[in-house]
Amino acid sequence: MSELEMGNALFNEYNANQEYSCPEWVEALLEHIETEISRVYWNDNQEEWNSAFRNTGNRYDGSCFHVQAYTWGEEYIAAWNFCYVDPKTEQAVMFSWYKHLGRDTTVNINPTGKGFNERIISMFDDVIADIRKSEEDQ
């Protein structure tokens, strides 16, 4: 993992970091997921969503993924901010960040490992389909 920014290294006692630095293209996919949740939330509620990808204390639970905002002073250590569980393999892909997505974003699987790109693309497709299905169900 690359060096953490100073605030994360010194003050982040309530959130775990994953083992590997997250590639920027994966952060971009996560940002698109955030945008899609915000769009669906707006269409359903006619108000802005307090994004769980930001420092809001909010969370979002899909059927195959969960997002929880950075934790401030909770009694437990948050193991992740975004967790996707592949419905076929039941393997988890977890991301953590410091205060908001894009700030020291880390992932639990090796980005240079075999099959990483395919796993992330499959995760993205499943998550987007899940969000859009929730929109249809409303």
pLDDT of residue 33: 98
Q: How distant is the alpha carbon of residue 70 from its chain centre?
A: 10
List the one residue out of 137, 136, 138, 127 whose CA is nearest residue 34: 127
Number of domains in the chain: 1
Residue 1 lies in a domain: no
Assigned domain for 125 exists: yes
Q: Are 104 and 95 in contact (CB under 8 A)?
A: no
Evaluate whether residue 114 is within a structural domain: yes
Asked whether residue 69 is assigned to any structural domain, the reply reads yes
What percent of the chain has pLDDT above 90?
70
As given in the structure block, the two tokens for residue 36 are 């899609």
Q: What pLDDT, on a 0 to 100 scale, did the predictor assign at position 135?
A: 82
Amino acid found at 127: V
For residue 10, the model assigns a pLDDT of 46
Residue 37 belongs to domain spanning: 16-137
**Confidence at residue 12, expressed as pLDDT on a 0 to 100 scale:** 52
Structural domain includes residue 10: no
Q: Which residues of the chain have pLDDT under 50?
A: 1, 9-10
Q: Would residue 9 count as lying in a domain?
A: no
